[in-house]
Amino acid sequence: MYELIQVSDNSYYIQSPAKIGLVKLSNTEVCLIDSGSDKDAGRKVRQILNANNWHLTAIYNTHSNADHIGGNKYLQGQTGCKIYAPGIDCAFTRHPILEPSFLFGGFPCKDLRHKFLLAQESDAEYLTKEVLPDGFELINLPGHFFDMAGIRTPDHVIYLADCLSSRETLDKYQIGFVYDVAAYLETLEMVKSLKAKMFIPAHADATEDISELAQYNIDKVHEIAEKIITLCTEPLCFEVILQRLFTEYALTMNFEQYVLVGSTVRSYLSWLKDTGKIAAEFKNNMLLWKRV
């Protein structure tokens, strides 16, 4: 873990639970794409920087999930590097309490205020194409989170953040986190058509061809949608739908899974309602969902 892997002349990634991109800008300067899950991840990145006599100029966060921004504060404090994050995710990076609050739908209890959902605050600025080094391209990847973005380097390596999961992850956990299902499917269709020397997803193996894995993720979205529609043959409230999904997929409920899967299921319900596949009604002061 935390091995530095070179994939082209100047593009690398650090093997970690959420891959960290590293790109050489010169013989002595590098930038990071995401920073890992916490201060310990930041320390391990710093060791790699020191071992290679590299100076860190900037961290480009693809989005604001805690496992991608957790090393920001430590690395910025150690190196003085700039930190950037895209759109709404910049606010979440500056004020990370927003992530567990958003997921829970209110003030998060202590069970949700931990490093996996709540990173340390970092001094982030907006990530736009103008602040990227020469030759870098910003790729919009909405769907998984608000304004998530990927980055293409000058040597044609694309860092894909969390826009797809590995087959193993999907087969084990089934329901990957999605904020906007419609945007997520559009992103995956776009990613299928991308060409690059190498693709680096944060939670799947690096590969020269991403199209097959993108399609697997698309198919999983439609499978989950159909399962929700089938469950809603009778009017059901959200909690019952969530409970039955956990049971059918043999998932284990805890606070973290409740908010991550629960938020995703709500997003599916919104998408299915907006596309006319299920309807919502209020009965006995309960919101019920039923297939059309």
Whether 284 is in a domain gets the answer: yes
How large is the greatest C-alpha to C-alpha distance in the chain, in angstroms? 67
Q: Are residues 142 and 260 in the same domain?
A: no
Whether 100 is in a domain gets the answer: yes
Reported pTM: 0.97
Q: Are residues 256 and 142 in the same domain?
A: no
Q: Are residues 157 and 18 in the same domain?
A: yes
Whether 216 is in a domain gets the answer: no
Q: Are residues 88 and 11 in the same domain?
A: yes
State how many domains the chain has.
2
Position 150 scores a pLDDT of 98
Nearest to 169 by CA among 15, 18, 270: 18
Share of the chain above pLDDT 90, in %: 100
Q: Are residues 130 and 258 in the same domain?
A: no
Q: Are residues 8 and 130 in the same domain?
A: yes
Q: Are residues 40 and 142 in the same domain?
A: yes
Model pLDDT for residues 15-44, shown as the tens digit of each residue: 999 999 999 999 999 999 999 999 999 999
Q: Are residues 8 and 92 in the same domain?
A: yes
Whether 75 is in a domain gets the answer: yes
Position 157 scores a pLDDT of 98
Whether 23 is in a domain gets the answer: yes
Q: Are residues 23 and 154 in the same domain?
A: yes
The residue out of 110, 143, 162 marking a domain boundary is: 162
Q: Are residues 149 and 233 in the same domain?
A: no
Whole-angstrom CA distances from 168 to 55, 176, 200, 271, 274 are 36, 12, 16, 26, 31
The residue out of 141, 162, 183 marking a domain boundary is: 162
Whether 104 is in a domain gets the answer: yes
Model pLDDT for residues 244-284, shown as the tens digit of each residue: 999 999 999 999 999 999 999 999 999 999 999 999 999 99
Q: Are residues 21 and 118 in the same domain?
A: yes
Q: Are residues 126 and 265 in the same domain?
A: no
User: Under a CB-based contact definition with an 8 Å cutoff, are residues 283 and 127 in contact?
Assistant: no
Whether 190 is in a domain gets the answer: no
The CATH number of the domain holding residue 250 is 1.10.10
Whether 60 is in a domain gets the answer: yes
The CATH number of the domain holding residue 149 is 3.60.15.10
Full residue range of the structural domain in which residue 157 is found: 4-162
The residue out of 162, 192, 213 marking a domain boundary is: 162
Model pLDDT for residues 37-93, shown as the tens digit of each residue: 999 999 999 999 999 999 999 999 999 999 999 999 999 999 999 999 999 999 999
